[in-house]
Structure 1
Amino acid sequence: MKALVTTDDADNADGRLRLDPVDEPEPLPGQALIAVSAVAVNRGELSVLDELPPGSRIGWDVAGTVLRPAADGSGPAVGTRVVGLADRDGWAERVALDTRRLARLPDAVDWAAAAALPVAGLTALYALQRAGRLLGRTVLITGAGGGVGRAAVQLASAAGAHVIAWVGSPDRATGLAALGADVVATYGTDPGVPVDILLDSCGGTVLTRAFESVAPGGSVVVYGNTARAELRLPRDWGRARPGVSLHYVFLFDEITRHDVGHDLAFLLQLVTEERLDPQVALVGSWTDPAPALRCLDRRQVNGKVVLAL
């Protein structure tokens, strides 16, 4: 079979992957063999391409069909449409997936929408759960124009929060109001009200400025650092805001403490009820991933990038 693997051309996002023959997966007893139909591309995956040796596998988000069920009897039967989370080897024609990280895919959800859901949806869900109660509270979401940010805007709004969406430029704001953001503004804009919950994916000065609006007793949840800068808080961060809690959410740590299959099924139910849109912005071909990777790398898409097999 074939898979997208890293190359030694690290000049840009366009030349860092190629289709190569790889060994067929050998599922463990608790894994199902999946024929892949679509995969999503995450900024986290792009960020590590240059750090991996040539020939490395990559890919987390997978949607496809069960070719062979798990030998231990867990998980779905042959022919079931599923979505799941891979161990950084999902960009392939076939992949073995832990049945605890799989959910059955309703017929109403297409491959692209399903593939866009796991990393973005679960990260947003777990970050908001860590923040605590949402009903009637003000939530500031930085990086709201990306895949996780757009999922977080929708989930927070659905839970009854007043949502302020911060973006890097007016172009990144497209569609956020329709998704439930009450206020859409560029980084550093004064929210005008105390912020009960801050969800940050940016780090650097964006986090510093956003933290200045957090109310005493509020919650700050960081799940990324796209600025690739030190995470700095205001000098008076504790004294001026007593009781503020700080959290860092890393998805592949969180999944060790969550029922991932159940949580994916919950997100899929919201999709079928049209209460959550996976925000697929671009669908490219995995045989020519360069254009799609380029658009994501340059932040030319608002939402998720998917590769179809």
Structure 2
Amino acid sequence: MLVDRSASSCLVVREVSAPTPGVNEALVRVASVSLTLDEIESAVQSAPDGAQLGHDFAGVVETAAKDGSGPATGARVLGLVRTGALKERVAVSTNALATIPDKVGFSYAAALPTSGLTALRTLGQAGGLLTAKRVLITASSDHVGLIAVQLARASGACVSAAVPSREHEVLLEDYGADHVIVGDLAGASEFGPYDIILHKNVDSPLETAANLLRPGGVCVLRSVSVPRSVPTGVLDLIAARRGRLRGFSLTASLRREPAAEALNRLSILVATRSITPHVEVEASWTAVALAVKQMRRRDHLGRCVLHL
């Protein structure tokens, strides 16, 4: 699927050159791809014509990697690519592939990679065991937040989830949050102070979050450089509490540590129902325009899964 602004939906299905796998790459026949509404609208608004969509996918290995690494031919797999997952076949490094357990379908598998890896590794930035720790997740109403709530709860933490509106409250409770804070983040003080705070970015009320941190606690920012983009006042506040402020970038994380092992862990957690990806909309990839309309009408907290 390509961006084409001459089309009514700005997205079209067209033939492209077949991928040629490298020695450490498997050729995967794609069954399902997941996207967020932001991914789709960003591509439509700013990507050049001809740009391909998609990072997260699930499918079947058509040809195993020549170097013998990774899943065998015929294996059901999930994984991620830098771009262009939304096509019939993709060549993927075996470092970014994991086998799908029998109990997990393609929809959940495709919805897992980017959100699951971000949630898992963001929590990992806090270090150590989560058992009995108080964890606050301030962007709980996006898919990364929903997965993070479940991972923290499954690890034995007492989880508080902050959401912007009451319509998300029941969903977060269903996903395992012990406490749900609606609207003003200051309301989270009732259940704090917190050992760990996962915060989305510096544009949201970071100073309020920092005030909720327990002495010696950790605040992790998703997709934010620390300390370059953080206000000095917030850094001083956290330092006064002997706390730590850390940033996280999935791109940088994948350069340091390949995704395969973490994807395997996450898929097992889905198979055992410890976590459940939130699939908001499912459709054929030829009906992407209709799927986008459905996402816009809903809260689009989860992923849009397109089936090939």
Fold conserved (TM > 0.5)?
yes
What are the superposed Cα offsets for residues 258-309 of structure 1, whole Å, 9 maximum, x if unpaired?
A: 2411111111111111111112222122101123334445662332221111
Amino acid in structure 2 at the alignment position of 1:308: H
Give the stretch that moved more between structures: 166-175 or 145-154.
Answer: 166-175
Q: CA deviation at 1:234?
A: 8.0
The corresponding residue for 2:70 is 75
Please tell me whether residue 238 in structure 1 is matched to residue 232 in structure 2: no
The corresponding residue for 1:209 is 208
The corresponding residue for 2:89 is 94
| Structure with greater proportional helix content | 2
Deviating 4+ runs (over 6 angstroms): none
Please tell me whether residue 107 in structure 1 is matched to residue 102 in structure 2: yes
Q: Supply the distance in 2 between the matched residues of 1:254 and 1:40 (Cα, whole angstroms).
A: 21
Q: Which runs of 5+ in 2 are unaligned?
A: none
The corresponding residue for 2:246 is 247
Give the stretch that moved more between structures: 289-298 or 122-131.
Answer: 289-298
In 1, are the aligned partners of 2:30 and 2:60 still within 8 Å (CA)?
Answer: yes
Amino acid in structure 2 at the alignment position of 1:280: V
In 2, are the aligned partners of 1:66 and 1:81 still within 8 Å (CA)?
Answer: yes
The corresponding residue for 1:146 is 142
Q: CA deviation at 1:224?
A: 4.2
In 1, are the aligned partners of 2:98 and 2:264 still within 8 Å (CA)?
Answer: yes
The corresponding residue for 1:8 is 5
Alignment of 1:1-309 (within 5 A): 4-8=1-5, 15-42=9-36, 45-46=39-40, 48-49=42-43, 50-133=45-128, 134-189=130-185, 190-191=187-188, 192=190, 193-224=192-223, 233=231, 235=233, 237-239=235-237, 241-296=240-295, 300-309=299-308
CA RMSD, Structure 1 to Structure 2 (Å) = 2.3
CA separation of 1:135 and 1:207: change in aligned 2, threshold 3 A: same
Q: Supply the distance in 1 between the matched residues of 2:152 and 2:293 (Cα, whole angstroms).
A: 30
TM-score by length of 1: 0.89
Q: CA deviation at 1:175?
A: 2.1
In 1, are the aligned partners of 2:37 and 2:300 still within 8 Å (CA)?
Answer: no
The alignment partner of 2:287 has SS state of coil
Q: Supply the distance in 2 between the matched residues of 1:17 and 1:42 (Cα, whole angstroms).
A: 15
In 1, are the aligned partners of 2:60 and 2:77 still within 8 Å (CA)?
Answer: yes
Q: Supply the distance in 2 between the matched residues of 1:30 and 1:188 (Cα, whole angstroms).
A: 49
Q: CA deviation at 1:251?
A: 1.0
In 1, are the aligned partners of 2:34 and 2:57 still within 8 Å (CA)?
Answer: yes
CA separation of 1:43 and 1:161: change in aligned 2, threshold 3 A: farther
CA separation of 1:237 and 1:255: change in aligned 2, threshold 3 A: closer
TM-score by length of 2: 0.89
What are the superposed Cα offsets for residues 57-115 of structure 1, whole Å, 9 maximum, x if unpaired?
A: 12110100011111112112221111011121101111001011111111210010000
CA separation of 1:47 and 1:161: change in aligned 2, threshold 3 A: farther
What are the superposed Cα offsets for residues 232-251 of structure 1, whole Å, 9 maximum, x if unpaired?
A: 65836524643222222111
In 1, are the aligned partners of 2:71 and 2:99 still within 8 Å (CA)?
Answer: yes
Q: Supply the distance in 1 between the matched residues of 2:275 and 2:126 (Cα, whole angstroms).
A: 20
Give the stretch that moved more between structures: 216-225 or 134-143.
Answer: 216-225
CA separation of 1:204 and 1:236: change in aligned 2, threshold 3 A: closer
Q: CA deviation at 1:55?
A: 0.6
Q: Supply the distance in 2 between the matched residues of 1:212 and 1:251 (Cα, whole angstroms).
A: 26
Amino acid in structure 1 at the alignment position of 2:176: G
Q: Supply the distance in 2 between the matched residues of 1:216 and 1:238 (Cα, whole angstroms).
A: 13
Q: Which runs of 5+ in 1 are unaligned?
A: none
Q: CA deviation at 1:8?
A: 3.0
The alignment partner of 2:197 has SS state of strand
In 1, are the aligned partners of 2:280 and 2:295 still within 8 Å (CA)?
Answer: no
The alignment partner of 1:165 has SS state of strand
